[in-house]
Amino acid sequence: MLINEGKSDEEEMVTEKVLQEHKTKLITHYKENNIEGIVEVLLSLRVNALQISPELRKSLVYELIRNDIFFVTENEDVGFLIKLLDINNKSLRHAITSLISVICSTLKGIEYLMPKDSPILLEKIIKVLTFYY
């Protein structure tokens, strides 16, 4: 018999408060043009997604969407993500594409990142990945 001595499922989930703090930091660092800060926030979210148990990862993606981490719902477009991808910084581009891949691991994530069936973000990611890697 196996005993799980780690965190419980509820403790493993990233709370809404934590997501809102990340979102606030993300926009603050963006407005201040603090690339390292943006990368730190994005990598923190990605690490949370990778450390969580696979059974809860889908729930985390849904929480990222519900909290509109990339302002897609609020702005009704992916302009914020495009602006981040336009910044010429490999670490930032790696961090953002990595988190996008986590979000795109669900159908809701794809729908979130492709509002109105617009392929603009997908086209931008392909350009970034083919040009810089």
Contact 63, 17 (CB under 8 A): no
In this prediction, residue 2 carries a pLDDT of: 34
Contact 35, 89 (CB under 8 A): yes
d(CA 89, CA 115): 26
Distance from C-alpha of 83 to C-alpha of 21, rounded to nearest angstrom: 21
46 domain residue, yes or no: yes
Domain count, the chain: 1
Whether residue 117 lies inside any domain: the answer is yes
Which one, of 35, 56, 34, 60, lies nearest residue 46 by Cα?
60
Token digits of residue 72: 């897609």
Quick check: is 33 in a domain?
Answer: yes
| Residue 51, domain member (yes or no) | yes
> Would 126 be classed as within a structural domain?
yes
pLDDT tens per residue across span 109-127: 999 998 776 788 988 988 8
Compute the half-sphere exposure of residue 115: CA atoms within 13 Å on the CB side of its CA.
Answer: 14
Whole-number pLDDT of residue 14: 66
Half-sphere exposure of 77 (CA within 13 A, CB side): 5
Nearest-angstrom CA–CA distance, 39 and 111: 24
Looking at the domain assignment, is residue 5 inside a domain?
no
In a domain, 108, yes or no: yes
Instruction: Kindly state the DSSP code that residue 115 receives in the 8-state scheme.
Output: G
Q: Which residues of the chain have pLDDT under 50?
A: 1-12
Residue numbers of the domain that contains 92: 15-132
Please tell me the predicted confidence (pLDDT) of residue 131.
77
Say if 1 falls within a structural domain: no
- Can you give the pLDDT at residue 43? 95
